[in-house]
Amino acid sequence: MKKILFLFMLVLISGFVKSQVIETIFVYDTIFVYDTIYEVYDATLKYEIITPIEAVLTQDTSFLMLTPATFYENGINRSKTKVNDLFSEKIGITMMDSLNTDKSAFRRNRQDKKPTEEIFHIDSLNSKKPDKRKMGTHVLKYFAAATLSAATAIHSLPAKAQRQESNELKTEEIAVTEKFPGQISFLYPLGTSGKSSKNTAYNLSLNILAGVTGDINGAEFGGVSNFNTGNMTGAQFAGINNLSLGTVTGTQFAGIANISKKETDAIQFAGITNIVDNIFSGAQFGGIANFTNGRVKGLQVAGILNYIKGDLKGVQIGLINYAGKSQGFQLGLINCMDTIANGFSFGLLNLPRHGFYDEFELSFSDYANTALSYKLGYKKFYTIFTAGTNYIKNNLFLFGAGFGHITEISPKFWLQPEIQSLNYFPNDFKDTQYNSSNRIKLGLRYNFSNKIAISFAPGVHANVLDHRKGETYNISFIKPVSVIEGEVNNVELGVGFSISLLFY
């Protein structure tokens, strides 16, 4: 209210300047106030221009500008007040010196609705003194014009204030200035505390739909949403989301999302996602994803994705896991990290940005007469994909996967233990039987250079052979040490070897 009165008085005082003031013109959208408040002409800015002689109307893309133009005897005084409203035109008026046409001619021209530049005349007072009998009329005239100007400027204040308040709530933590045991709200600000709830700390908060509170030191329940401008310590339950601009300590349950901007030490359960824009300690359980912008010390479990921009000092379990610096444990189908320090990742693909290792292997063995393998991951733990063929005993194709580890004894000698499972198929892929060879082998590797190496790997195996369709496949040309016969499968236990050429 104080701002409105101040603006009204400022415009009123600037509009009434003794007897030197001749005319006041206000341009606002399609309303043109000329001479008096009683003569209001609607003007389409693109086609009908109401301006003094030789004046130039300019237009560009910006916010609409409210321009009070006050004409004096020997010059023009113009002030501009920016109006924050949803317009996209700025009206600029440049006045010249000569003003010599008749106002009545202007009115006649306007009635003709000519889409050209209109002309009007303002009688120069020269050195004439003002007529005191007309002072009352002039006072009324400028009072009305000033009122219109103030009302026009005030028009944008509620929307502007609302936008400022909305931005304040969305971006910055608001200082809590009051404390109260509890509050009930339907939809902010419709509640027992009104708008002041965003600056108040409560022990108990009940939001039928959605509410905005300062701090919570206890419990908060929201049918749709809970929004804290301060810190939350305790428990929160929301049908859709819990949002906190401050720290969070305790437990949060949300049907869709839990979102916190600052440090969070909590257990979070969300139907879709948990998002923390800072460091996190505790446990996150998200139906789809968990996101943390800082380091994590604790547990993340998600149906699809766990993402940590900072360090991981804990456990991630999900289909896809990402951590900036892994110092914990990742379990997933795909595990990614910027750097793997003291951590360990177990998945089908483990892909560090720094420390990534891969190699190709061309091998000959009793169980895979000729095979090509691709290994990728990091030296501590990598994945093996293998394809090959057998042709010594039976003509078979083989495909399989496995995992391996590298221990560097010296730059030239490495130990390379691996575990693999291979499945075999006839060349025509008909009458397929279930047959697999599961092996553990220890590779003794010598590096000729930093690109080429050779390996010899003895190992043990357990071959599972399906005999329901008759004779089983001959996987290895080395006889098994022992055979365990079953009703469906026979299990062969034995030893074998492989010789490999490695490219890395």
Pick 428 or 245 by higher pLDDT.
245
Any idea of the CA torsion for 100, 102, 103, 106, to the nearest 10 degrees?
-100
- 475 shares its domain with 429: yes
Please determine, for residue 419, whether its predicted confidence score (pLDDT) is greater than 90: yes
Domain-terminating residue out of 303, 330, 349: 349
pLDDT (tens digit per residue) in 194-238: 999 999 999 999 999 999 999 999 999 999 999 999 999 999 999
Verify that 336 and 238 share a domain, yes or no. Answer: yes
Give the residue, 300 or 142, on which the prediction is more confident.
300
Which residue's entry shows tokens 């580890």?
A: 405
Least confident of 10-14, 232-236, 427-431, 484-488: 10-14
113 pLDDT band (50/70/90 cuts)? very low
* Local confidence band at 428 (pLDDT 50, 70, 90 cut-offs): confident
279 and 403 part of one domain: no
Are residues 364 and 496 located together in one domain of the fold? yes
What is the predicted pLDDT for the residue at 27?
38
Among 1-15, 204-218, 274-288, name the one with the lowest average pLDDT. 1-15
Report yes or no on 204 lying in a domain.
Answer: yes
- Give residue 140's domain range: 2-158
- The token pair at 50 is 């109401």
Q: Do 391 and 329 sit in the same domain of this protein? A: no
Query: What's residue 176's pLDDT?
Result: 77
Q: How many CB atoms lie within 10 A of CB 247?
A: 20
**Is residue 165 one of the residues assigned to a domain?**
no
Residue-level pLDDT at 439:
95
The answer to whether residue 109 scores a pLDDT higher than 70 is no
Between these two residues, 270 and 147, which has the higher pLDDT value?
270
Domain boundary among 158, 188, 219: 158
> Same domain for 314 and 403?
no
What does the pLDDT look like over 353-369, one tens digit per residue?
999 999 999 999 999 99
The pLDDT of 426-447, averaged and rounded, is 89
Average pLDDT (329-342) is 94
End of a domain among 99, 125, 158? Answer: 158
* pLDDT reading at 449 higher than 70: yes
Q: How confident is residue 171, by pLDDT bands cut at 50, 70 and 90?
A: low
Per the domain annotation, does 171 fall within a domain?
A: no
**Percent over 70 (pLDDT), the chain:** 66
170 lies in some domain = no
Distance (Å, whole) CA 22 – CA 262? 60
415 shares its domain with 444: yes
Residue 159 is predicted with a pLDDT of: 43
Residue 221 makes CB contacts below 8 A (sequence gap 6+) with: 205, 206, 207, 236, 237, 238
Mean pLDDT (the chain) is 75
Task: Give domain status of residue 168, yes or no.
Answer: no
CA distances from 109 to 33, 43, 51, 102, 339 (A): 17, 13, 13, 11, 79
pLDDT at 44 exceeding the cut of 60 = no
CA distances (Å), origin 486, targets 252, 271, 464, 479? 53, 47, 10, 19
Q: Are residues 150 and 14 in the same domain?
A: yes
Residue 172 lies in a domain: no
pLDDT confidence of residue 172: 62
pLDDT at 45: 35
Q: Which of 153-157, 446-450, 498-502 has the least mean pLDDT?
A: 153-157
More confident residue, 15 or 462: 462
pLDDT at position 417: 97
Q: pLDDT-based confidence at 11, cuts 50/70/90?
A: very low
Query: Which has the minimum average pLDDT: 62-71, 218-227, 440-449?
Result: 62-71
The single-letter code of the amino acid at 228 is: N
338 lies in the same domain as 198 = yes
Question: pLDDT band at 116, cuts 50/70/90?
Answer: very low
Residue 338 has pLDDT above 90, yes or no: yes
Lowest mean per-residue pLDDT among 120-129, 286-295, 403-412, 463-472? 120-129
Asked, for residue 164, whether it belongs to a domain, the answer is: no
d(CA 218, CA 234): 5
Shared domain check, 27 and 116: yes
| CA–CA gap between residue 299 and residue 38 (Å, rounded) | 73
What is the tally of structural domains in the chain?
A: 3
Domain CATH number, residue 395: 2.40.160
Per-range mean pLDDT, top range of 61-70, 99-108, 275-284, 388-397: 275-284
Predicted TM-score (pTM) of this structure: 0.63
Task: Yes or no: say if 193 and 208 are a contact pair by the CB < 8 Å rule.
Answer: no
One domain for residues 312 and 373: no
Residue 435 belongs to some domain of the structure: yes
**Residue 376 and residue 312 share a domain:** no
Answer yes or no: are the C-beta atoms of 326 and 337 closer than 8 Å. yes
**Residue 184 is encoded by which pair of tokens?**
């009930």
